[in-house]
Amino acid sequence: MLTNRDVNQFVLLFQFMKHGTNTPSTTTSNRGYAAIAEARTVLEHELETIRTGGTWKGERIITSKQGPRINVDGSHGDILNFCANNYLGLSSHPQVVEAGIEALKKYGAGLSSVRFICGTQDIHKDLEQKLAQFHEREDCILYASCFDANAGLFEVLLGPDDAVLSDELNHASIIDGIRLCRAKRFRYKHMDLNDLETQLKESQSSRLRLVVTDGVFSMDGDMAPLKGICDLAEKYGAMVFIDECHATGFMGPRGRGTDELLGVMDRVHIVNSTLGKALGGAAGGYTVGPKPLIDLLRQRSRPYLFSNSLPPPVVGCATRAVELLLASNEIAQSVGDKTMRFRNKMTEAGFTISGSDHPICPVMLGDARLASLMADDMLKLGVYVIGFSYPVVPKGKARIRVQISAAHTDQDIDRAVDAFIQTGRKHGVVS
Ligand code: PLP
């Protein structure tokens, strides 16, 4: 078999035959070649470190639609899926799929444009209006993802005279978004109101201040203490922002989110969320909040200004998902019962499940290799779950993150628990 080195030698020989030895282009291309060869060595070394550290993230290939039962390449029959953010089972809901097809037929595959040039259709405006209504906020702006919404917000809202106070475990996209802005940065300990108060006192001289938190933290399934955060923000004259990616559509009596559940919808000023999880699961993100903020984001937010408009089928699917939730909270309600069934049965069996009563149920294992081996064994038993390890979670806190969906039946949940018990016994996690 040819090694990299053999290939390199061949390329050098080819260059020599093509250009001779003394032409400037040969020297230049040889240098270019040497540069990429060196980069290759550095990259291979880095990849090997990840492999030997047991934190390699492989990708299993799904050969069916997203849903509670899927087909996975290399496994036989229907596999029970417990690792999608498909909290409401809307990713392959017939009405959602149909709406996507209708939008595709009527509005085409895509816009070939950013919003302000020729990328705004009536369906984009309609979805923005519905999302603002859903969250009971003044206005809404769509992005290609919530990662983009988080990347595009802080730089526009906050300048060097302002301050941002951020939970230390906020999502990577919030951390990146904050890095892009020039406000002074204060990081408070995870969900620690005392520490937040200390930082609010320290940042008192700033012009605007924004407290930034995930509503629900995706790795642990724990919920931000929003009431306490709003109390403090009001005491010290700060605004509050939440990322509701793991709450929109199913937390709270009407599925409006963590802010609804904790009774602070009118005290949280800005919400970012995704269309890529509970709301149909295709893609897309958005910001809802005060109208002048949304107007300014349309003028200045870089991921909005310099990236393509959301494709019509994606808009069609998300719009139908929001319409279903505006019409009834029935689907949203059913996730809670199923979550409690899983959490209770797993705890009885001796597993440690982290987080509050959220459909994200992290089965804590500690060791990265153990998490990955157990996930592989679960797949052999027909249950698809994934081990999470560093850098997605802190070192020594590896886990299998189970996510419950409204589309799971009680029998699905019991089957997953049985598979956990069998695999857990094999690896000495439970007796
Ligand atoms: N914020 C949080 C808390 C998330 O969990 C995610 C997705 O993993 C994002 C933002 C990014 O969302 P999107 O997939 O729409 O970019």
Asked if residue 272 has its Cβ within 6 Å of ligand 1, the reply is: no
243 CB within 6 A, ligand 1: yes
Alpha helix (H) residue ranges in 20-145: 24-52, 94-107, 115-118, 122-135
Q: Which two tokens stand for residue 424?
A: 């857990």
**Mode of pairing for the β-strands spanning 79-81 and 386-388:** unpaired
Question: Could you tell me where the beta strands, DSSP code E, fall in 189-291?
Answer: 209-214, 216-217, 222-223, 239-243, 270-274, 285-289
Ligand 1 mean position, distance from CA 2 (Å): 41
pLDDT band at 331 (very low <50, low <70, confident <90, very high): confident
Q: Is the CB of 273 under 6 A from ligand 1?
A: no
Mutate to test the pocket of ligand 1, among 244, 246, 274, 304 (most ligand atoms within 8 A of CB): 274
- Indicate which atom in ligand 1 lies nearest the CA of residue 171: 3
Marked catalytic residue, from 277, 345, 358, 408 = 277
pLDDT for 31 equals 85
Compute the distance from residue 13 Cα to the ligand 1 centre, in Å: 48
* Options 166, 173, 203, 218, the catalytic residue: 218
- Residue identified by tokens 């937390």 is 251
Whole-number Å distance between alpha carbons of 50 and 53:
5
The predicted-structure confidence for 19-50, as pLDDT tens digits, reads as follows 555 555 667 788 888 999 999 999 999 999 98
**H-run or E-run covering 389:** none
Q: Which of 91, 142, 147 to mutate to test the pocket of ligand 1 (most atoms within 8 A of CB)?
A: 147
Distance 146 CA to ligand 1 centre (A): 5
Q: Which residues, other chains included, contact 283 with Cβ-Cβ below 8 Å and sequence gap of 6+?
A: 144, 145, 275, 276, 310, 314
| CB-based contact 282:275 (threshold 8 Å) | yes
Name the band, by pLDDT with cuts 50, 70 and 90, for residue 121: very high
pLDDT at 55 > cutoff 90: no
pLDDT in tens, 243-259: 999 999 999 999 999 99
This prediction's pTM: 0.91
Residue nearest to atom 6 of ligand 1 (CA): 245
Phi, psi dihedral angles at 253 (to 5 degrees)? -55, -35
- Local structure of residue 308 (DSSP, 8 states): P
